[in-house]
Chains A and B, each alone.
Chain A
Amino acid sequence: MAAETAAQFTPVIYMLGFGVLAGVPALIISRLIAPRRRYNPVKFLPMECGQMPTGEGRSHFMMQYYSYILMFVVFDVMSIFLFAWASSLLLIPRTATLSIMAFLGIMFAAMGYALYLSGRKGIW
């Protein structure tokens, strides 16, 4: 069963490989026929609208919406759990829907509280 499921995915892997096969020659051909002039070191500086770049390129950057990222970790998994229920909805008894509604209720309450907290200022 596991081997069959894995075998279903082999065309996707082939397609991924074909994408690589299509992309790499384009870069190689471009490298072969394009000019390479390296006498001017300023040309290779990072783009900062014509100024000489100051400071580090990779610096600490303020992630202002951190609360959403924390919520994403939880609710993304929730939304994938719902797919397992939805795809087998026609096969399972109707009472199973009640428990999933309870699950949804808990998740809605949690999401509402998290969104309420993320809207408040001064806690992040």
Chain B
Amino acid sequence: MASTPEEFRFGNFVGSLIWLILIVLIIISLVGLPIIFVILFYVPLPPVNGEILTPYLFLSMMVDPTRTLPIIKFLIHTHLFKLVVFPGFTFAALLAAATIFIERKFLAKMQLRVGPLYVGKVEGILQLAADGLKLISKEIIIPSGSDKPIFWASPVAFVAAAAAVTALIPVAPGWVVANISVGLLAVFAILGFFPLIALLFSWASNSKYPFIGGLRALHQMIAFEIPFFLSALSVVILAGSLNLTDIAKAQHPFWFIFFLPISAFVFFISSLAELERVPFDLPEAESEIVAGWLTETSGMIYGLLQLGTYVKLYALAALFVVLFLGGWAGPQIFPQELIPGYTGEKIYNPVTVNAIFWFTVKTFGVIMLFLLPRGINPRIRIDILLHTGWYKLIVLSFINMFVALALIYGGVLGPGGLLTR
């Protein structure tokens, strides 16, 4: 029996891990802690409850839980929190990560497999963490003759553009990063970046299969961009606004999917095409052109592109919910008071929590609908794709535009209408 080579011994592995932890601790104590202190003492801290928050007050408030609540309440209403944590990046990235895991298990169940099973003992729950570690520790291979700046920049641009889409999605009343009066058009504008990034990346990688995949991504955008816009047009007619918060509020008694089912269908199909998912995954058709425009990706570049793709999936599912499924509307199921009889400072708002709950539930439902075709549909041919987009979906989306006009002018919806609240 061959003995294990020296560098593969388990003890060496543990030793290297301990060294790594030690180095990280030293870096934190030499660099991180001074930076924290410099920030605490030199950056003017915001006023909380009328008094300026000094570092000493901050530290003393951290100890007393009842005095910590105002700080937390202040912090979760800052722009930075909205941007980084809740309706912004972390929320979207967490939902995207959950989507990746659920997709693998869901497809496995549909195809009578088991899916991820071993990592984390319980149904492979830590598979994602393992995959992340694997991706970050893999070598990034850049093909020779590639355009290196574009090759490195495109994955970052992909993630950044996906994050910018999520900034426009309202999650609950008032909980949106950028409340823009033309939010819907801004979403369309940012979504137009993705095929361009795919094409840039495929051009930069100096290889044949990515190039074909990038051109296919462009064709797909050309086939499905116009039905995508026009299916949202009927929603704008009924809501009378381009602001996504206003659109979600306008469907208070009745969701728009009851009036505009064909638009919702067209929007769903074109979202599938925008997301490059089965049956429209021509840009990365793995049985025809290796992996399409992702052929030359490796390591963390692939990881970033995957993260961007799933953040985009969340963004489009959330857009479907906002446009057709009433946004955050739902019956109040959370109690008015979390702790009965408590009269101090509160950060629990039953209306907001309820809105977030219903929004997340609906978004997950739509995400599951997006995942479903991957288990049951074959890929369609590119000429059928263009034919479907131009001849069928555009006409279908115009049908519901006329339905919306009839509803407005017939006095059913709109100001003073029959069904208006």
Contacts and interface: CB of A to CB of B under 8 A. Distances in A.
B405 interface: yes
B392 to A, nearest CB: 11
A11 B208 contact: no
Contacts of B378: none
Interface string A80-119: 1011001101100010010000001000000100010000
A112 to B, nearest CB: 10
Contacts of B145: 46, 57
B164 A19 contact: yes
Interface in A21-78: 22-24, 26-27, 29-31, 33-37, 41, 43-49, 53, 55, 57-59, 61, 63, 65, 68-69, 71-72, 75-76
B236 interface: yes
A77 to B, nearest CB: 10
A79 B230 contact: yes
Contact of B229 (A9, A16, A69, A80): A80
Interface residues of B, number: 82
Interface residues of A, number: 61
Nearest to A80: B229
B166 A15 contact: yes
Contacts, number: 201
Which secondary structure dominates where chain A touches chain B? helix
B138 interface: yes
A89 B240 contact: yes
Interface string B123-137: 000000000000111
B61 interface: no
A20 B408 contact: no
A85 to B, nearest CB: 9
B368 interface: no
Interface stretch (B254-262, B271-279, B293-301, B316-324): B293-301
Contacts of B394: 111
A27 B301 contact: yes
B206 A58 contact: yes
Given A11-B167, A89-B408, A31 B237 contact: no
A80 B398 CA distance: 14
10 contacts: A15-B89, A18-B89, A30-B137, A37-B139, A47-B296, A57-B206, A57-B211, A71-B390, A83-B236, A86-B236
Interface of B: 79, 82-84, 88-89, 93, 135-145, 152, 155-157, 159-164, 166-168, 177-181, 184-186, 190, 203, 205-209, 211-212, 215, 219, 222-223, 225-226, 229-230, 233, 236-237, 240-242, 290, 295-296, 299-301, 303-304, 382-383, 386, 390-391, 394, 398, 405, 408-409, 414-415
